[in-house]
């Protein structure tokens, strides 16, 4: 990688958002995002084939738009980073093939980024980034994990969901309450007018030791509660509120345990569910109470985006990593398989 001037193009296509960004020695200089919400909403969830086709349609125009925002062209780039997994295989391949072809054509290195590492490092894009080591809570549509992060690539899994991810539980509960897609933000909006005293949901797996989670029971609890009542507007709001509070409390209890267990006092929260205001308020109170601090990405970088991939790729390319000639996308990929790297 050119050591005088570094600028990396980042590409994210693992699910239902096409994200592109430019991150370099001067930080994040441009980003563009296209959300596929309109395409999938009529089906109530992501349709993988439609997602892949839309990435193919939107990716090149988005890259051009990102370049034109800051008058950058291919000669200014020193590398291309893309999400190599985990995610939907067709969607991943749309990004992998464009990223690898561009890098090959431009004669610059490329690097495949782990999607969850992208999320985990997203708070590094903020003005006041966290310092290593820290405990990370990753809460997305596909993952709920607590990780001890020593440095980039030094990831120790402390606990994870044994069934549904937190975001998945939000999506499924929103669906059964007929709140629309994507479920997380819809349920959070509905919960605002809910009465928190009407229903009490369990805080799963908090009365036994350990840092694993289980969220599928909460969705079932929401289903049985909804079947026992007339599902009018207020009942929907009350169930949403009780569900949201149960998820936030459960996550906060486990985060506190993880901080105590590791002896660390910095918590980083990332992934789509970290956009949830009630969760943030609960974690703010919890960390304050134990003299710890908590970091989040800005709202638009909680969900999938190109900036987090450009950042992670920039760091890995800077550390000398790059792809071999083989082209690979990995629908399943554990964070613990990643190489440790030194942040410079």
Interaction site with ligand KG4 (CB under 6 A): 15, 119, 140-142, 167, 170-171, 182-185, 188, 271-273, 275-276, 303-304
CA angle 11, 323, 95 (to 5 degrees): 25
- Among ligand KG4, Zn ion, none, what does residue 182 contact (CB within 5–8 Å per kind)? ligand KG4
Q: What is the DSSP string of 47-87?
A: -HHHHHHHHHHHHHHHHHHHHHHTT--GGG--EEEEEEESS
Q: Tell me if 243 sits within 8 A of 108, measured CB to CB.
A: no
Span interacting with Zn ion, options 275-283, 299-307, 310-318, 331-339, rule CB under 5 A: 299-307
- Among ligand KG4, Zn ion, none, what does residue 110 contact (CB within 5–8 Å per kind)? none
Nearer to Zn ion, 54 or 304 (CB): 304
Quote the least distance from Cβ 82 to Zn ion, whole Å: 14
Quote the least distance from Cβ 284 to ligand KG4, whole Å: 15
- For residues 329 and 335, give the distance between their C-alpha atoms in angstroms, rounded to a whole number: 15
Nearer to ligand KG4, 80 or 139 (CB): 139
R_g (Cα) of the chain, nearest Å = 20
- For residues 29 and 69, give the distance between their C-alpha atoms in angstroms, rounded to a whole number: 9
Site for Zn ion in 114-153 (CB under 5 A): 140
Task: Out of 168, 245, 304, 323, name the contact with Zn ion by CB under 5 A.
Answer: 304
Number of residues this chain uses to bind Zn ion (CB under 5 A): 2
Quote the least distance from Cβ 270 to Zn ion, whole Å: 9
Nearer to ligand KG4, 304 or 323 (CB): 304
Quote the least distance from Cβ 199 to ligand KG4, whole Å: 18
- For residues 162 and 158, give the distance between their C-alpha atoms in angstroms, rounded to a whole number: 13
Q: Tell me if 181 sits within 8 A of 40, measured CB to CB.
A: yes
- Among Zn ion, ligand KG4, none, what does residue 225 contact (CB within 5–8 Å per kind)? none
Nearer to ligand KG4, 144 or 266 (CB): 144
- Which alpha helices (H) appear in 107-153, and where do they start and end? 115-121
Quote the least distance from Cβ 218 to Zn ion, whole Å: 21
Quote the least distance from Cβ 185 to ligand KG4, whole Å: 4
Of 160, 137, 125, 132, nearest to 280 (Cα)?
Answer: 137
Nearer to ligand KG4, 238 or 244 (CB): 244
Pairing of strands 79-85, 7-12: parallel
Residues found in the chain = 344
Q: What share of the chain is helix, strand, coil (3-state, %, to 5)?
A: 45, 20, 35
Quote the least distance from Cβ 85 to Zn ion, whole Å: 12
Nearer to ligand KG4, 1 or 16 (CB): 16
Q: Tell me if 330 sits within 8 A of 84, measured CB to CB.
A: yes
Name the residues that contact Zn ion, by CB under 5 A. Answer: 140, 304
């Amino acid at each position: 990688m050119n050591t005088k001037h570094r600028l990396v193009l980042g590409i994210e296509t693992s699910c239902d958002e096409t994200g592109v960004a430019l991150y370099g020695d001067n930080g994040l200089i441009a980003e563009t995002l296209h959300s596929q919400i309109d395409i999938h909403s009529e089906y109530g969830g992501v349709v993988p084939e439609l997602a892949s086709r839309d990435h193919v349609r939107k990716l090149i125009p988005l890259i051009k738009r990102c370049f034109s925002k800051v008058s950058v062209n291919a000669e200014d780039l020193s590398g291309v980073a893309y999400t190599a997994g985990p995610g939907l295989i067709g969607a991943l391949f749309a990004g992998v093939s464009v990223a690898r072809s561009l890098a090959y054509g431009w004669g610059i290195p490329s690097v495949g980024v782990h999607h969850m590492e992208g999320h985990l490092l997203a708070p590094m894009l903020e003005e006041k980034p966290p310092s290593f080591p820290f405990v990370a809570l990753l809460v997305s549509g596909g993952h709920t994990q607590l990780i001890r992060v020593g440095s980039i690539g030094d990831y120790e899994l402390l606990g994870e969901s044994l069934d549904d991810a937190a975001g998945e539980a939000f999506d499924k509960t929103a669906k059964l309450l007929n709140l629309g897609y994507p479920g997380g933000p819809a349920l959070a909006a509905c919960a605002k007018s809910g009465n928190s005293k009407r229903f009490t949901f369990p805080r799963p797996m908090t009365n036994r030791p350990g840092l694993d989670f289980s969220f599928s029971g909460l969705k079932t609890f929401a289903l049985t509660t909804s079947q026992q009542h007339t599902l009018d507007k207020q009942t929907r709001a009350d169930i949403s509120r009780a569900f949201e509070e149960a998820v936030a409390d459960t996550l906060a209890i486990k985060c506190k345990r993880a901080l105590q267990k590791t002896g660390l006092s910095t918590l980083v929260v990332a992934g789509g569910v970290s956009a949830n205001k009630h969760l943030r308020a609960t974690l703010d109170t919890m960390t304050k109470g134990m003299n710890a601090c908590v970091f989040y990405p800005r709202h638009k970088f909680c969900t999938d985006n190109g900036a987090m991939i450009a950042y992670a790729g920039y760091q890995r390319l800077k550390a000398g990593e790059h792809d071999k000639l083989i082209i690979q996308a990995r629908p399943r990929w554990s964070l613990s398989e990643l190489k440790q790297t030194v942040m410079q």
